[in-house]
């Protein structure tokens, strides 16, 4: 029903608490800091906050390694702080969605401590333990049970000396994978989820949820030339019981509860799978995050990226719009805490910073689906100029550096890759104003503040009608005001040049036309005659430049326009 699908009209804002706002001067963002900045979110007009993990954690992966699912990490505050934040968010008629990280726990979680304590511990089977490969001694080179490479470099298996067996970790050594085959694991996770919902949270963003079912037998992956490890992805993703688990979770956790949001993070998901996950009739998830558009520039791995060809980004968006047109629902995003800043990656920070940040936002937000804004994106924050390894904090970047340099790559070349693609670009503190440390902290920030905060910051953008912030605010307002933005059909239009992304949205008698130049050169779109006639003299509802108003006028670099009829 319409009310249960409230998220079709919603815009979600992701808060990465460590980098959002520090309230106590320890240099780490916290819950009271978020409370202090709720005005910013209300001003922007978002409906939902997705809060990255705040649970107790050793912070090997900034909280994506959880040692207690039902407690707040002291670095972020107390449970009372959390309750106060949740109440304040609700008082402003916003919702709060939590991050759910249940593919793995921390190796310091009591479940894992028990599991590793002996071969016959009742929780032994809660994780993936395997002996050394046949014919190998534990600890020997190549003795790992499979040849899979971890997301964060090196093997996915670590030997535990005490019992002489290996445990599986698709991510860091300190993130052992839970064994979802074991029904006790699933019941413990569901009970924990119900506990949070009972406390009033409004749903979950589910970390790497398509990795929870592994293919039994755990076969080796293919080793491509020049690589030490194999690609285990086909064997540990989208396993045979994945949909069964999600349907079970839906029954055990969500049935009979009110207006919640569930969004799965699903790296490598295909359009066909995404339709299955988000088909309401199948009762799994409301929507998933797909990764196609944020993988287009990966070439020889993510740290050796390539430039995109004109039109590639628009082409990928169109594929997903078309694929989920009848069944399922798209989530729309350019950024999150794992991705470089979109204006640096897809736009032009040299000459067209403001124009490209707003053009990219326009084509994203005016698609069909639920848009997600990542903190600082609404200010046009850029990648950080981190040219020394000491600037970096992220476990993925640091492991990659050690690994690549260990294999003989030049440190400078490895840094060049990090300068393009490190997750730390998303994790520099939010730039609130032009003061020392950008208003983020009175102390020493855990990661360097981007020096361009003197130019790019929230305070400078509020109430400036030409600012990136005001453009995001206008896009969000348009979605709330016009049903066609939220739910209209999407049809890509041929604009005669791949640099221009043009599309039409239709809902009953309401129509929206978007024409955007996603390049740093001026171009003249050549729209189909019928479209030009129909939209001649139409009402321009949104633009990022004071250019020509006609639908077929020449477009300035990164000019984006939206019309309604």
Polymer length in residues for the chain: 565
267 binds ligand ISL (CB under 6 A): yes
Interface with ligand ISL (CB under 6 A), residue total 14
Residue 167 Cβ vs ligand ISL, minimum distance, rounded to whole Å: 16
For residue 178, the 8-state DSSP code is B
Q: Calculate Rg over the CA atoms of the chain.
A: 24
- The DSSP code for 281 is G
Window 382-411: contact mask with ligand ISL (x via CB under 6 A): --------------x---------------
151 lies in the binding site for ligand ISL (CB under 6 A): yes
The CA-based dihedral angle spanning residues 238, 241, 242, 246, taken in that order and rounded to the nearest 10 degrees: 180
- Residue 196 binds ligand ISL (CB under 6 A): no
Q: What are phi and psi of 157, to 5 degrees?
A: -125, 140
In angstroms, what CA-CA distances link 92 with 42, 58, 265, 357?
A: 7, 32, 27, 28
207 flagged as catalytic = yes
| Per-residue mark of binding to ligand ISL, 93-112 (x: CB under 6 A) | --------x-----------
Asked whether the CA dihedral 268, 272, 278, 282 is positive or negative, the reply is: negative
How far, in Å, CA of 331 to CA of 293, rounded? 12
Nearer residue to ligand ISL within complex by CB, 31 or 101: 101
Q: Does 293 bind ligand ISL (CB under 6 A)?
A: no
Smallest gap from Cβ 400 to ligand ISL, in A, equals 9
* 487 near ligand ISL (CB under 6 A): no
Q: Rounded to whole angstroms, how far apart are CA atoms 490 and 448?
A: 41
Contact 26, 42 (CB under 8 A): no
> Is-catalytic flag, 265?
yes
| Distance of closest approach, residue 338 Cβ to ligand ISL, in angstroms | 4
Buried b / exposed e along 436-454 (16+ C-beta atoms within 10 A)? ebbbbbeeebbbbbbebbe
Shortest reach from residue 374's CB to ligand ISL, in Å: 11
Nearer to ligand ISL, 11 or 269 (CB): 269
Of residues 159-178, which lie at the interface with ligand ISL (CB under 6 A)? Answer: 171
Quote the CA–CA distance of 70 and 201 in Å, as a whole number. 13
**CB of 52: closest distance to ligand ISL in angstroms?**
8
Q: What does the per-residue mask of binding to ligand ISL show for 502-541, with x meaning CB under 6 A?
A: ----------------------------------------
Tokens of 12: 């979600």
Among candidate residues 65, 202, 207, 424, the one labeled active-site is: 207
The interface mask with ligand ISL, positions 417-446, x = CB under 6 A, is ------x-----------------------
d(CA 169, CA 150): 7
Find the binding residues for ligand ISL in span 64-93 (CB under 6 A): 64
Q: Is 324 in the site for ligand ISL (CB under 6 A)?
A: no
Question: Judged by CB under 6 A, which of 22, 30, 47, 61 binds ligand ISL?
Answer: 61
| CA 500 from centre of chain | 26
How far is residue 51's CA from residue 49's CA, in Å, rounded to a whole number?
Answer: 6
Nearer to ligand ISL, 154 or 280 (CB): 154
Q: Print the SS3 string covering 316-340.
A: HHHHHHHHCCCCCCEEEECCCCCCC
Q: Which is nearer to ligand ISL, 76 or 151 (CB)?
A: 151
- Closest separation in Å from C-beta 429 to ligand ISL: 17
- C-alpha span between 503 and 485 (Å, rounded): 12
Q: List, in sequence order, the alpha helices (H) in 279-431.
A: 312-323, 342-345, 353-365, 395-406, 411-421
Catalytic site residue from 22, 30, 61, 265: 265
Alpha-carbon distances, residue 211 vs 6, 161, 265 (angstroms): 28, 27, 10
- For residue 340, the minimal CB distance to ligand ISL (Å) is 10
Residues carrying an active site annotation: 207, 265
Interface residues toward ligand ISL, by CB under 6 A: 61, 64, 101, 151, 171, 207-208, 265, 267, 302, 337-338, 396, 423
């Amino acid at each position: 029903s319409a009310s249960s699908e409230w998220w079709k009209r919603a815009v979600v804002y992701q808060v990465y608490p460590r980098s959002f706002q520090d309230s106590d001067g320890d240099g780490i963002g916290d819950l009271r800091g978020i409370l202090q900045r709720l005005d910013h979110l209300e001003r922007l007009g978002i409906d939902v906050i997705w809060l990255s993990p705040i649970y107790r954690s050793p912070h090997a992966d900034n909280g994506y390694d959880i040692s207690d699912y039902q407690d707040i990490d002291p670095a972020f505050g107390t449970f009372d702080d959390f309750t106060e934040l949740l109440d304040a968010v609700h008082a402003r008629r916003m919702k709060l969605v939590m991050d759910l990280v249940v593919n793995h726990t921390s190796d310091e979680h009591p479940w894992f401590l028990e599991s590793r304590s002996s071969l016959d511990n009742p929780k032994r089977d809660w994780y993936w333990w395997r002996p050394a490969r046949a014919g190998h001694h534990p600890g020997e080179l190549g003795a790992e049970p499979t040849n899979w490479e971890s997301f964060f470099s090196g093997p996915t298996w670590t030997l535990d000396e005490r019992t002489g067996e290996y445990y599986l970790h698709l991510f860091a050594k300190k993130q052992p994978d839970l064994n979802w085959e074991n029904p006790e694991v699933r019941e413990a996770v569901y009970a924990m989820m119900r506990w949070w919902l009972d406390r009033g949270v409004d749903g979950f963003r589910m970390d790497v949820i398509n990795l929870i079912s592994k293919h039994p037998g755990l076969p080796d992956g293919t080793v491509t030339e020049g690589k030490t490890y194999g690609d285990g992805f086909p064997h540990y993703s989208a396993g045979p019981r994945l949909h069964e688990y999600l349907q079970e979770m839906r029954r055990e956790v969500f049935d009979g509860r009110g207006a919640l949001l569930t969004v799965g993070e699903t790296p490598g998901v295909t359009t066909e799978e995404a339709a299955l996950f988000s088909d309401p009739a199948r009762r799994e998830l409301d929507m998933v995050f797909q990764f196609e558009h944020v993988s287009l520039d990966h070439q020889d791995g993510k740290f050796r990226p390539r430039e995109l060809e004109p039109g590639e980004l628009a082409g990928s968006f169109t594929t997903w719009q078309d694929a989920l047109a009848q069944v399922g629902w798209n989530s729309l995003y350019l950024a999150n805490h794992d991705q470089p800043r979109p204006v640096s990656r897809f736009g032009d920070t040299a000459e067209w910073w403001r124009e490209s940040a707003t053009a990219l936002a326009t084509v994203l937000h005016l698609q069909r689906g639920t848009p997600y804004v990542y903190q600082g994106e609404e200010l046009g924050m850029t990648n950080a100029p981190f040219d020394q390894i000491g600037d970096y904090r992220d476990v993925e970047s640091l492991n990659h550096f050690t690994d690549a340099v260990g294999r003989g790559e030049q440190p400078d070349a490895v840094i060049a890759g990090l300068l393009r693609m490190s997750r730390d670009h998303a994790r520099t503190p939010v730039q609130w104003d032009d003061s020392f440390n950008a208003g983020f902290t009175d102390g020493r920030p855990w990661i360097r503040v981007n020096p361009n905060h003197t130019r790019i910051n929230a305070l400078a953008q509020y109430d400036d009608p030409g600012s990136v912030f005001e453009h995001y605010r206008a896009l969000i307002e348009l979605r709330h005001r016009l049903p066609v933005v939220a739910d209209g059909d999407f049809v890509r239009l041929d604009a005669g040049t791949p640099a221009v992304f043009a599309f039409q949205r239709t809902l009953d008698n309401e129509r929206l036309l978007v024409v955007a130049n996603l390049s740093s050169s001026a171009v003249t779109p050549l729209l189909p005659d019928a479209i030009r006639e129909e939209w001649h003299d139409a009402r321009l509802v949104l633009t990022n430049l004071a250019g020509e108003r006609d639908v077929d006028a020449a477009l300035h670099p990164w000019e984006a326009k939206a019309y309604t009829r």
